[in-house]
Amino acid sequence: MDLTTLRPILRNLTGTVLVILQVAIALAVLVNATWIVAQRVRVMSAPTGMDDANMLAALSVSFTPRFNYDASLNADLMYLRGLKGVVAATPVDAAPFSHGGATTDVWTNPNQKGPPYSLNTFSSDEQGLKAFGAHLIAGRAFRAEEVLPPVTEANLTEFVPSIIVTQAVAEALFPGQNVVGKQIFDSVGKPATIIGLIANLIGTAPQGLHGADQVAFIPRLPALHGVIYLVRTEPGRRDELLPIIEAHLAGSNPDRVIKWVRTIDRYKKRLYLSDHNMAIFLVVVTALVLAAAALGLFGLSAFSVSSRTRQIGTLRALGARRFDILRQFMVESAVVTTAGIALGCVISLAVGNWLSLAYRLPRLNLFYLVGGMLALWTIGLLAVWHPARRASLVAPSVATRTV
Amino acid sequence: MPEVLGYYVRLALKSFRRTPGLTALMVAGVALGISVCIVTLTVYQAAANNPISWKSDRLYAVTLDSWDPNAPANPERPDLPPNQVTYRDAGYLLTSSIPARKVVMFLTQDVIAGGGREGKPSPLSTRVTTADFFGMFDVPFLFGSGWKASDDADSAPLIVLSRQENEKLFGGANSVGRTVRWNDRELRIVGVLDHWEPMPKFYDVTRGPFEVSEDAYVPFGWAETLLRFPNGGRVSCWQNQAISSFADFLSSDCVWLQMWVELPDAASRDRFQGVLDAYWSEQHNTGRFQRPRNNRLTNVSQWLVDQQVVQNDNRILVVIAFSFLVVCLLNTVGLALAKLLKEAPNAGIRRALGATRGELFAQALTEVGLICFLGAVAGAGFAALGLAQVRALYAGGEFTSGGYQQLAHFDAVSVAWALVLAVVAALAAGVYPAWRAGRLPPALYLKSQ
């Protein structure tokens, strides 16, 4: 490329610098926003480990001494399990994704040596795993005779003799070993034997999604004051069964109220809401930034074409082909875009570094930078295509006309 | 001066008519940039809002590090004590007469029956709290009032309803003096609140900072009288001893109460800090509080920072929105320059007829200022639409009814942001082109005519 190509750019230096800055900022926004969105999408698309699309939960709360826990539980479970379209139903102490629930600290030794490991526990009965749709990998589910009565004030902190854990727990506590048959200990040294291993599953996420798969199931009926019935339906029948279940439970026992019947999807939505919204917002703003930068390139090029119409005509009259004119404008724009991209690389890396330091985001993946560069290059060429084509269509006779 | 300004505006409007496309592009760019900034700033402002700013430096959250000697309460913030206190510590600290007001409280989920819906029980959330709650947080009453401090100790059968609950049960009528059945016990209504929904819910962030306020309030004595474990709030334990009765639970190191004190001046603050420290030392010597001494009195604004009410996402969004505004303004500068060169012959004539450089500068700045003002008006409109969209995104049904809905509403603050941003935009985008306008050599452009 000979240097004369660059001369028109230098003639409108201010305009060129402005567009270079726009392209640079656009690249920095594009690369870092895409990187953040990719993290969020990864979080949102990670498997939940359960059949969450076909699950619902109902909270039953008693409020009078007349209430009979056992009778109510048996009647409700018999109804739910007998309902056509229900795969499994279990009483549980908290809904998955609900931020609530219980956590218990455990150790691999009875003397609480070393830091505690925090388990997010679900209290449920023999249909627990089935109602979640959890995948059993090794060992077995609880048997009906293993299920303990609900805790009372007298045994509030009592541990359970058997427990089922996720792979994440197994890997953290007993790396590389077969965990079925191993013992873990609570804060007073009481042991529980691991009888089953299940695939990772999101628990109640009391601390958000970080470490949400450190989940265990314990064989105990839940709750002192309320019971959540977790119901798993046949695929696609959840919405049809929900109002039927709600109507029946609400009317079947005057000594309690059904506070709500909800789909598990709603909890899931809430848990992922901020990630979801952040992703949407970033995509929208990034698109706007790219549009603005493209508009800047388009404007610069169009202005340049309109102020050089006579010059183009002269060139054409002197023998330049249409293609030569088109190429001249495309090359000019490519030079500006490239300069902007070069500056943008520096800004992108600086911003990426700042984000990873200030907000503990993972370090920017350089593939995203390369992708962003290619994207902006393409956008730059597309943005000037129209003005450049218009330039190439200028008739040589224009050179002979006066304004 | 006003005539001159009017003249400049007339000139600017004339120039807009000459280049409508370019002008529209500039207005649209400024409008988009400003609207995106308003949306992110409004959401950020709402999250960073201090809902009791007039008392913020007199109200203190009380926290003590009673946690596990081997692990901090919150691994993400190991420097902070747990954000709630134990029953036994709260019980002792309540006996101090130093604070002007003191509140210990927790949230429960309950069942109420009465009013027009006689006999039909319905669920509600209750705050079990000491009497100072209403005075301390300036809670407005529609009817009646709160209860006396002595009613707390006696667990008097009294209840205060929220405005919404009173509407549900009594159709909004004055229900003071009537009774309701709360958890199957008869309570007399002493007060009905007016609408009160502080956002963020600074006084109890344990269930998230944007939860709605409770439906009813009862004296703190009910914590013990109900003889039941708190249900609905957050209870955190690091048991080093087994709990085998309700009495055990009350004397345990489980934290489940929010505690606030009102300390009117620095002297009382120091005295109360002294009480905390003395209590800590005494307990430390008996074997509790084995973590480093970390007794905190935290005012509301610091509390909102410590409890991370403003999400990192909010900050990143504001940065990105401003980057977008910068890109839009760079565009505006470029377009303004292009427009200027197009109209240079005009300026040349005006210079030749005697206009000074300063006058041309002022005129060009007026033109960009007008464009930015129009952009701000359109941008405010876009922002109102954008915020409605944000509300729709955050509508999570009953979980966040009120909560996020209040986070993002278009109001006077948004308009103020629009105006401020318009001025900033006009200065940023207008000064350079206007300066160039003033320096155009008139002769050159007169010649080419």
Residues A2-57: tens digit of each pLDDT? 445 667 777 778 888 988 999 999 999 999 999 999 988 988 888 899 999 999 99
Predicted confidence band of residue B401 (pLDDT cuts 50, 70, 90): very low
Distance from CA of A286 to the nearest CA of B (A): 8
* pLDDT averaged over every residue in chain A: 89
Give me the amino acid identity at A163. I
| Contacts B396 to A, Cβ<8 Å | 266, 269-270, 273
Distance from CA of A268 to the nearest CA of B (A): 11
CB distance B348 to A32 below 8 Å: no
The pLDDT of residue A173: 94
> Among candidates B405, B403, B381, which has minimal Cα distance to B391?
B405
Q: Between chain A and chain B, how many beta carbons pairs sit less than 8 Å apart?
A: 151
| Contacts B251 to A, Cβ<8 Å | none
Phi-psi group of A83: left, alpha or beta (phi > 0 → left; psi -120 to 50 → alpha; rest → beta) = beta
pLDDT digits (tens, 9 = 90+) for A91-102: 999 999 988 788
H-only helix segments in B307-411: 312-342, 344-352, 357-394, 403-407
Predicted confidence band of residue B118 (pLDDT cuts 50, 70, 90): low
> Among candidates A379, A371, A378, which has minimal Cα distance to A31?
A371
> Among candidates B26, B32, B322, B28, which has minimal Cα distance to A28?
B322
CA distance B345 to A322: 32
CB atoms within 10 A of CB B376: 27
Given an 8 Å threshold on Cβ–Cβ distance, is A273 in contact with B394? yes
Predicted confidence band of residue B408 (pLDDT cuts 50, 70, 90): low
* Whether the predicted pLDDT of A238 surpasses 60: yes
The pLDDT of residue A372: 95
pLDDT (mean) for B247-264? 92
Locate A17 and state its tokens: 């610098």
pLDDT digits (tens, 9 = 90+) for A305-360: 888 888 888 888 888 889 998 988 898 889 999 999 999 999 999 999 998 888 87
CA distance A155 to B242: 8
Given an 8 Å threshold on Cβ–Cβ distance, is B245 in contact with A153? yes
Burial class (CB in 10 A: 0-12, 13-18, 19+), B441: exposed
| Contacts A290 to B, Cβ<8 Å | none
| Contacts A156 to B, Cβ<8 Å | 229, 243-244, 248-249
pLDDT (mean) for B114-119? 69
E strand intervals along B64-215: 101-114, 122-129, 141-144, 158-161, 179-182, 185-193
Chain B residue nearest residue A118, CA to CA: B238
Q: Is A219 helix (H, G, I), strand (E, B) or coil?
A: strand
* Whether the predicted pLDDT of B35 surpasses 60: yes
* Whether the predicted pLDDT of B402 surpasses 50: no
pLDDT (mean) for B260-266? 95
Give me the amino acid identity at A225. H
User: Half-sphere exposure of A258 toward its Cβ, with a 13 Å CA cutoff?
Assistant: 19
The count of residues in chain B is 449
pTM of the model: 0.81
CA distance A297 to A304: 11
Given an 8 Å threshold on Cβ–Cβ distance, is A355 in contact with B316? yes
> Among candidates B416, B359, B328, B417, which has minimal Cα distance to B29?
B328
> Among candidates A241, A263, A239, A101, which has minimal Cα distance to B396?
A263
Kindly give, in sequence order, each residue whose CB lies less than 8 Å from that of residue A229, ignoring residues fewer than 6 positions away: A57, A58, A60, A76, A77, A80, A89, A90, A91, A92, A249
* Whether the predicted pLDDT of A297 surpasses 70: yes
Please give the backbone phi and psi of residue B44, each rounded to the nearest 5 degrees, phi first: -65, -45
- Asked if B411 reaches chain A (Cβ–Cβ under 8 Å), the answer is no
CB distance A376 to A27 below 8 Å: yes
Which DSSP helix (H) or strand (E) runs through A351? helix A322-358
- Residue B126 to residues B62, B98, B134: CA-CA distances in angstroms? 22, 28, 14
CB distance A141 to A126 below 8 Å: yes
Which of A2-11, B50-59, B251-260 has the least mean pLDDT?
A2-11
| Contacts B238 to A, Cβ<8 Å | 105, 187
pLDDT (mean) for B316-345? 85
pLDDT (mean) for B20-43? 87
The pLDDT of residue A234: 96
* Whether the predicted pLDDT of A200 surpasses 70: yes
The pLDDT of residue B440: 74
Using only the alpha carbons of chain B, give its radius of gyration: 30
Asked if residue B200 has a cis previous peptide bond (ω within 30° of 0), the answer is yes
Beta bridge partners, A13, equal none
Locate B316 and state its tokens: 């990143």
> Among candidates B305, A402, A238, B149, which has minimal Cα distance to A246?
A238
pLDDT (mean) for B84-107? 95
* Whether the predicted pLDDT of A211 surpasses 90: no
CB distance A179 to A194 below 8 Å: yes
pLDDT (mean) for B104-117? 85
Please give the backbone phi and psi of residue A253, each rounded to the nearest 5 degrees, phi first: -150, 115
Q: Give the dihedral of Cα atoms B85, B89, B95, B96; nearest 10 deg.
A: -70
| Percent with pLDDT over 90 in chain B | 36
pLDDT (mean) for A215-235? 90
| Contacts B432 to A, Cβ<8 Å | 14
Of A22, A257, A358, the CB nearest to B122: A257
Predicted confidence band of residue A230 (pLDDT cuts 50, 70, 90): very high
H-only helix segments in A116-191: 128-132, 167-173
CA distance A89 to A79: 10
ipTM above 0.95, yes or no: no
Q: Is B437 helix (H, G, I), strand (E, B) or coil?
A: helix
Residue linked to tokens 């007026």: B366
| Percent with pLDDT over 90 in chain A | 51
**If you write DSSP's letter for every residue of B5-62 in order, what string do you get?**
HHHHHHHHHHHHHHSHHHHHHHHHHHHHHHHHHHHHHHHHHHHH--TTGGGTTTEEEE
CB atoms within 10 A of CB A157: 20
* Whether the predicted pLDDT of A376 surpasses 90: yes
Give me the amino acid identity at A330. M
CB distance A140 to A163 below 8 Å: no
The pLDDT of residue B449: 45
* pLDDT averaged over every residue in chain B: 86
Highest mean pLDDT among A381-395, B113-127, B307-321: A381-395
The pLDDT of residue B127: 96
pLDDT digits (tens, 9 = 90+) for A112-156: 888 888 899 999 999 999 999 999 999 999 999 999 988 776 776
Of A29, A156, A358, the CB nearest to B323: A29
Predicted confidence band of residue B404 (pLDDT cuts 50, 70, 90): low
CB distance B276 to B66 below 8 Å: no
| Percent with pLDDT over 70 in chain B | 93
Beta bridge partners, A334, equal none
Using only the alpha carbons of chain A, give its radius of gyration: 33
CA distance A282 to A284: 5
B 262-321 residues with CB < 8 A to A: 311-313, 315-317, 320-321
Decide which of B336 and B157 is more confident: B157
Which of A4-13, A40-49, A75-84, A261-270 has the least mean pLDDT?
A4-13
